[in-house]
């Protein structure tokens, strides 16, 4: 049972992929990344700057947008111009006061306006249509030369004069009919844009917003075997329903709105918290320990409480099988990339080793990222690689621990006190005043008050100074401050 859950808060859009009641993959787009890139605007040229080969275009946003000459002409046209005649000048193409239909290429940053282009692109499920650019391209991630040739000839057959398209990776193996229907829909979208633009009669502003992050995920992730898409945000639901009806009609009957308070099937927050933990429990009491060092991740499999009744080999084998399934799920959920080494429990039988590697291959094949399993070594280590993700779940949600600077350990309370004692001996004689003022992290303070009051009484008697201990929440866990004070 495959389900998708879409939620949106003022902070982000959050999409969870759920299989058999378990969270298997998450897609998160922070609100600050939800930009207007891809939206189409009607604008008017405010100013042409020949020196910069750019123009300012008023598109009805606060700041004027930038239009550079390379976003006016295609690369081919530019190369031709630059090669033969005098250098192309923006003045030859754009005039002040000229109305333009532009697409946002880069979002505005701080004081800088958005960067716009005349080369509009309309992304669909299988292809991207370029109404002003007669280029035909195939995704570089499709490697089979025969398939490339097939897609190219389909594209050439579809495209209208003057338009162009890029075939996306998901089009691999998809029949011509579906590509044609995608092209038709996008052509229709383009006609609508032109109609709306005309209806605006020279007014500046948004003509068509880009399909949201959620639809981008839909485009890439949704397969026909999805059984239900639940959207917990009404406005997003309306947008997605509309998108799905246009582009993925097969699933349009499977998308539903649910008020966030009415959804209780899976506690996503709890699942996420678990997906960040080092320790992952297996059903039989065994567990995994997941750790990362730079580009390498290490997963250690432990039998834990499960000692098995029969024999060691069987215990190891059963735990390893459970672990293999969980490892595949965890690397996908955590979006881990690079080299992953799994330290399985030692097994003697080759048949067991073979079965284990086989299961791991089978389980990781469900991943949308490519995972390669390299086989098992004599010590029971399995090396795997997974395509490097842009951001792992951990880098998306966590930061380096400020207490230990990512080391994972801090000085024990005893050691803090040990170092503090050295410092006190060092400075007690020289510090001015009759008071020794000591600041500690609140938790260390509590420990010291409970266990070490004898020590401080000794210092008070020995140096004839009154000790004043104080909590300071701004201190790092293992830091302290010693000062002398007059009463």
Q: Which residues bind Zn ion (CB under 5 A)?
A: 401, 403-404
- Least distance in angstroms from the C-beta of 406 to Zn ion: 7
Ranked by CB distance to Zn ion, the top (closest) residue is: 401
User: What is the rounded CA–CA span in Å between residue 106 and residue 53?
Assistant: 18
- Least distance in angstroms from the C-beta of 390 to Zn ion: 25
- Least distance in angstroms from the C-beta of 181 to Zn ion: 53
- Least distance in angstroms from the C-beta of 300 to Zn ion: 20
The nearer residue to Zn ion, 278 or 305, going by C-beta atoms, is: 278
User: What is the rounded CA–CA span in Å between residue 345 and residue 154?
Assistant: 52
Nearest by Cα to 28 from 11, 18, 13 = 13
The nearer residue to Zn ion, 135 or 477, going by C-beta atoms, is: 477
Measured in residues, the chain has a length of 487
With 0-12 / 13-18 / 19 or more C-beta atoms within 10 angstroms meaning exposed / middle / buried, residue 277 is exposed
Helices (H), 50-93: 75-83
- Least distance in angstroms from the C-beta of 410 to Zn ion: 7
- Least distance in angstroms from the C-beta of 400 to Zn ion: 8
Instruction: Return the structure tokens found at 421.
Output: 């004692």
- Give the Cβ contact number of residue 474 at 10 Å: 7
Nearest by Cα to 166 from 175, 157, 155, 177 = 155
- Least distance in angstroms from the C-beta of 399 to Zn ion: 11
Residue appearing with tokens 């080793």: 353
The nearer residue to Zn ion, 109 or 401, going by C-beta atoms, is: 401
Helix (H, G, I), strand (E, B) or coil at 410: coil
Contact 71, 94 (CB under 8 A): no
- Least distance in angstroms from the C-beta of 292 to Zn ion: 14
User: What is the rounded CA–CA span in Å between residue 3 and residue 228?
Assistant: 5
Contact 47, 56 (CB under 8 A): yes
The nearer residue to Zn ion, 289 or 404, going by C-beta atoms, is: 404
- Least distance in angstroms from the C-beta of 474 to Zn ion: 17
Eight-state DSSP code of residue 401: -
Contact 59, 41 (CB under 8 A): yes
The nearer residue to Zn ion, 144 or 398, going by C-beta atoms, is: 398
The nearer residue to Zn ion, 51 or 402, going by C-beta atoms, is: 402
The nearer residue to Zn ion, 261 or 406, going by C-beta atoms, is: 406
Instruction: Please report, for residues 24, 223, 227, 232, 397, the alpha-carbon distance to residue 266 in angstroms, rounded to integers and kept in the order given.
Output: 12, 21, 16, 13, 20
Residue 379 CA to its chain's centroid (Å): 34
The nearer residue to Zn ion, 8 or 441, going by C-beta atoms, is: 441
- Least distance in angstroms from the C-beta of 404 to Zn ion: 3
User: What is the rounded CA–CA span in Å between residue 477 and residue 480?
Assistant: 9
Kindly list the strands in the beta sheet with 122-123, ordered across the sheet, starting from the edge strand earlier in the chain: 122-123, 127-130, 164-167, 136-138
The nearer residue to Zn ion, 161 or 473, going by C-beta atoms, is: 473
- Give the Cβ contact number of residue 232 at 10 Å: 20
Helix (H) or strand (E) holding 416: helix 413-427
Contact 475, 441 (CB under 8 A): yes
Contact 185, 247 (CB under 8 A): yes
The nearer residue to Zn ion, 4 or 410, going by C-beta atoms, is: 410
- Least distance in angstroms from the C-beta of 403 to Zn ion: 5
Residue appearing with tokens 């401050």: 481
The nearer residue to Zn ion, 86 or 399, going by C-beta atoms, is: 399
The nearer residue to Zn ion, 261 or 402, going by C-beta atoms, is: 402
- Least distance in angstroms from the C-beta of 218 to Zn ion: 38
Residue 464 CA to its chain's centroid (Å): 60
């Amino acid at each position: 049972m495959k389900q998708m859950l879409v939620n949106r808060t003022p902070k982000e859009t959050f999409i969870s992929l759920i299989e058999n009641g378990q969270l298997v993959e998450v897609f998160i787009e922070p609100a600050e990344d939800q930009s207007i890139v891809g939206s189409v605007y009607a604008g008017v040229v405010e100013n042409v700057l020949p020196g910069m080969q750019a123009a300012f275009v008023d598109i009805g946003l606060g700041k004027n947008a930038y239009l550079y000459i390379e976003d006016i002409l295609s690369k081919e046209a530019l190369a031709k111009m630059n090669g033969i005649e005098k250098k192309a000048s923006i003045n030859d193409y754009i005039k002040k006061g000229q109305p333009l239909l532009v697409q946002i290429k880069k979002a505005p940053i701080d004081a800088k306006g958005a960067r716009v282009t005349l080369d509009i692109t309309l992304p669909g499920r299988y292809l991207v249509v370029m109404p002003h650019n007669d280029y035909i391209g195939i995704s570089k991630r499709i490697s089979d030369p025969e398939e490339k040739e097939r897609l190219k000839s389909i594209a050439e057959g579809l495209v209208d004069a003057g338009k162009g398209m890029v075939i996306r990776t998901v089009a691999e193996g998809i029949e011509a009919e579906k590509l044609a229907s995608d092209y038709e829909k996008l052509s229709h979208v383009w006609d609508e844009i032109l109609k709306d633009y005309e209806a605006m009669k020279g007014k500046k502003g948004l003509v068509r917003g880009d399909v949201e992050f959620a639809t981008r995920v839909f485009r890439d992730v949704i397969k026909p075997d999805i059984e239900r898409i639940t959207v917990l945000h009404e406005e997003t639901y309306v947008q997605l329903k509309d998108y799905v009806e246009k582009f993925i009609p097969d699933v349009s009957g499977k998308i539903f709105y649910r008020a966030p308070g009415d959804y209780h099937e899976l506690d996503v927050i709890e699942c996420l918290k678990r997906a960040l933990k080092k320790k992952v429990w297996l059903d039989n009491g065994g567990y995994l320990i997941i750790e990362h060092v730079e580009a390498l991740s290490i997963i250690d499999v432990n039998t834990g409480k499960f000692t098995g009744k029969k024999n060691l080999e069987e215990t190891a084998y059963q735990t390893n099988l459970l672990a293999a399934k969980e490892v595949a799920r965890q690397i996908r959920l955590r979006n881990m990339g690079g080299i992953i080494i799994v330290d399985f429990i030692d097994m003697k039988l080759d048949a067991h080793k073979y079965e284990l590697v086989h299961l791991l291959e089978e389980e990781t094949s469900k991943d949308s990222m490519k995972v390669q399993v390299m086989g098992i070594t004599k010590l029971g280590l399995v090396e795997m690689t997974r395509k490097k993700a842009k951001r792992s779940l951990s880098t998306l949600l966590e930061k380096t621990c400020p207490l230990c600077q990512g080391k994972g350990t801090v000085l024990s309370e005893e050691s803090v006190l040990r170092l503090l004692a050295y410092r006190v001996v060092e400075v007690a004689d020289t510090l001015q005043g009759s008071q020794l003022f000591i600041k500690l992290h609140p938790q260390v303070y509590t420990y010291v008050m409970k266990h070490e009051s004898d020590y401080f009484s000794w210092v008070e008697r020995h140096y004839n100074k009154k000790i004043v201990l104080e909590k300071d929440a701004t201190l790092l866990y293992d830091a302290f401050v010693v000062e002398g004070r007059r009463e």
